[in-house]
Every structure is written in structure tokens, then in C-alpha cells.
Structure 1
């Protein structure tokens, strides 16, 4: 990897604060990739170890009580003015239902689209698990979703972890890169993992871990997290810093659940190939159910299972 040019000196020999940040991101991603490679196999269907903690205004059943009825799976999308986002969320939930017939699967939105989460919760009469169709922790996962549950005291529920970081998420990102033209026989120089961004440091940490998991799937190709808003570096800044290091074949991976403004904006900055958003994929549907199952178990309920013979992809 080429050293930064001396023409634009910055602290430590870097051309700019962004160049320094990308350098740190590259080393952090490599370190996390090595850590992931040496970790024990994750629990569940390609899933992580124990969940980071579930927000819960109402706790699980008391010790000794039998499991209650299977909770509804309420998938919570952010919402978008792009009409493709709603269609994508609806199609993804059809894929989830195909994996788990008999499960009550519903959709709610944080904003911009109907049904809003408050309306979905108002229509429930039993327990529920809220599965964020979001890619990292942030204000919505930590505050808005628990607040929505607290405002629906008739619902005993939990908020599951967001979709990332997780090996199934890295699988889905990898698939989209391959569809865009990524070839393992002649891989690119690097990948910029474009995410929405948040002021919450946990969100940036989750995105960095997702970048490490994707780097591992790509055989160690550097993956640098970058953001569309609220955090640094931005996608154009990360791409410019990589170009200054002599890396030209840089792909942009879209860490977005569905098409929308951020996905369109970050794809337009790609100097080489740009992957489509996650959309409707089998890996994403399985990840939604994995998050649901973990939370349902913590809630003290027994989620319905699809017969083993019918569970093949």
C-alpha cells in the first residue's frame, strides 16, 4: 500500500484528518478480522454469541411459569420517501413468513411510512418481539423502540438486537457485491462499507465490526466503514483517502436495508462498482428470524418452528 504523499503534510505524515481516520479504520478492520478469525464458532445459524442486551419495558415470564404463546414478530423499518423502501420491507417479510409458516409477522415504521409502529402495536393483543430492520445500534434501537413499547402497556415485549453486526449480514453484503461485479479471482483493492451513520458511538462500533466480518468473507480485502450522515468519514472522504494511497479499484458496499436517498447518494460516489442495498435476500430473512428467536427465548415464550424438511433454502 502506497505511503501518503509528502505534498500535503498533516500530523504524523498524513495528508488530512480523513486520511488519518481511514488509516486507523484500515488497521482496526484488519485487527477485528484477525480477532473474528480466531474466535470460537458463533452460536445459532451463523449467528453471534450472546446478544448485547435487550431493551425491555416488560420482563420475561416469572421462574417456573410455562412458556407463553409465541410472540408476534414486529419488524421495524425506518421508513423512507422512496416508494421502493416500503415494497422491499413487505417483500422481505413475505420471505420471513415462507421460512416460518404460522408465525404472526407484522410491519411497523419509525416514521414516513404506514403502518407506523404505534399503530402496529395498538393492533396487538399478545406478546411481541420488535426486530429492528436497522444495521446497528443507535437512537432508534436504544430509545425510540423501547419508548414505543412502553407506550403500549397491553403488549409484553422485547426489542431484539439490530441486524448488524452478524455473519449473515456479511453474507448478504458479499452477495450484493458479487452481483455488482466483484470477482474473487480478481478482487478489488478495497471496499468502502457505506452506512447511514449516527452520533451514537455504538453505531460506529457495530459498523466497524460488520466491516471486519465482510473483510473476512472477502479473504482479507480491506473494508473501510464510512457514512452518509452524522459520522465521519463520509463515503467521498473515505474514497478520496484510499485513492491517495494508490487504491483505485474500490467498491462501495451498501449497508442499507432498502433503496433510498442514502443508498442512491453513496452509490453515485463509487469510482468502480457499487452494490445494491441488502433488499430481499434469504440471508436477511434468516437473520431476522435469528434475532426474533433469541429475543423470544429471553421473553419466556416458545416461537413456532418450521418443520425441518421444509426449512431448506
Structure 2
């Protein structure tokens, strides 16, 4: 029996974000590799959705490590202790193909050698997420051969604005923000408010994200079968 893939994220009661998450779940399901259930909402709503799934399941976070504070807090509140045949995967992180996609999007936004880059992460309470964001910034810096500083939208310092100002003070008059976010919402930040020349879009929609989420599911399926 193929385990159900349960995609989990907080939808923030944001209709734009809700629509994007449901479109992502549909795109994954359309690959016909596994049954897919979208569990989006509050911890109580997500727990109820999980309890309604028959048979084995693999819980796949539909967000990036350090890129979605609300979803990370939701994931920490889920209780699978009494749920047999369930495996929870970590969120996507420092994946080389994601770094390549970020670099491509920056170039599409007009980034050029000599420009600075701020990797904009949401931030959350876990130090592991902070380490992942740091790894992503280093990988992106190596790929671009350029200065990449981390800036946070919530919780941690430095802020995106301060990271952009620091790059300007270090001789990079143009700064582009690489958006470390899987799915956006209606309250996207204005690059001008972040002291940036531009900001890339969230990583979804991109077929790459569907590929990576399905690869995660296959890894979880193998762990359940072991």
C-alpha cells in the first residue's frame, strides 16, 4: 500500500496563500505517484485531517526550513504518537537544485555581478532552521560568486533592511532580495520597504518543488518499509 502523502502548512487565514497551497497539493497529486492530502490550517484542523487518513502516511512539510515561522510552529504542535505507520519528514532546506533556482530567479530580476544579495528568511524558534538558512546563503554565495547576507522578516536579527544597508555600506549599491519562501501570501513585502532593488517570487509555482516534495515522500515511504 502506498502511504498517503500529507502536505502540511499553516494557511494564515490568507486567501491568496490558501489558494497557492491547494494548487500545490493538486499539482503533486496530478503526478499520480501517491494519494495526496493537503492539511492546511490551525493545529487542531491539521490534526483532524491527519486522523481522517486511513492507512500509512508520510507527513511532508509544504514549507522551507527557516522560511515559514507559522508553519514550523504548527508542525511542532502536531501529535502523531498514537498514529501507527506514520513518518514525519523535515522541511526542505539547503538543496542544490533550490539554490540553482534561486540564482536563476535573481538573474531574471536583473541581478548582475557586483550587486549584493539578501537571502530573506522568515525565521522561527529553532536553531537548526537558522543553521539551514546560513547554509543556503553560503551555497548561494558560492554559486553566484557574490556577497550574500542573511536577513530576517521576523524573530531574528539582522532584519532584511539592515542586511541590505550593510551590503550598500560595503560597496554594493544595488541589492536584490532572494525570497526564501515556498508559498507567498497577499501580504508580500514591498522591495522598497526592504531597501532593495527587487525581490524574487516565492519558489512555488515551479515543477522543481513538486519534484522535491515527491522525492521526500519516497524517502519517507522507504523509512516506513524498513
Structure 1: which 4+ aligned runs deviate by more than 4 Å?
137-144
Is the CA contact (8 Å cut-off) linking 2:124 and 2:155 kept in structure 1?
yes
Structure-2 change in CA distance of 1:273 and 1:227 (3 Å): same
| Residue 252 (str. 1) matches residue 177 (str. 2) | yes
Q: CA deviation at 1:268?
A: 3.6
Distance 1:267 1:70 in 2: 47
| Residue 161 (str. 1) matches residue 90 (str. 2) | yes
Q: CA deviation at 1:290?
A: 1.6
Q: Which of 80, 83, 92 does residue 150 from structure 1 map onto?
A: 80
**What are the equivalent positions in structure 2 for 1:1-313 lying under 5 Å apart?**
69-98=1-30, 100-111=31-42, 116-136=45-65, 144-145=74-75, 147-150=77-80, 153-182=82-111, 186-218=112-144, 220-260=145-185, 263-264=188-189, 268-300=193-225
Distance 1:272 1:225 in 2: 16
Distance 2:179 2:73 in 1: 25
Higher strand share: 2
| Uncovered stretches (5+) of structure 2, i.e. residues with no partner | none
Secondary structure of 2:2's partner?
Answer: coil
Distance 1:270 1:188 in 2: 17
Secondary structure of 1:116's partner?
Answer: helix
TM-score normalised per structure 1: 0.64
CA RMSD of aligned residues (A): 2.7
TM-score normalised per structure 2: 0.87
Q: CA deviation at 1:199?
A: 2.9
| Uncovered stretches (5+) of structure 1, i.e. residues with no partner | 1-68, 302-313
Secondary structure of 1:150's partner?
Answer: coil
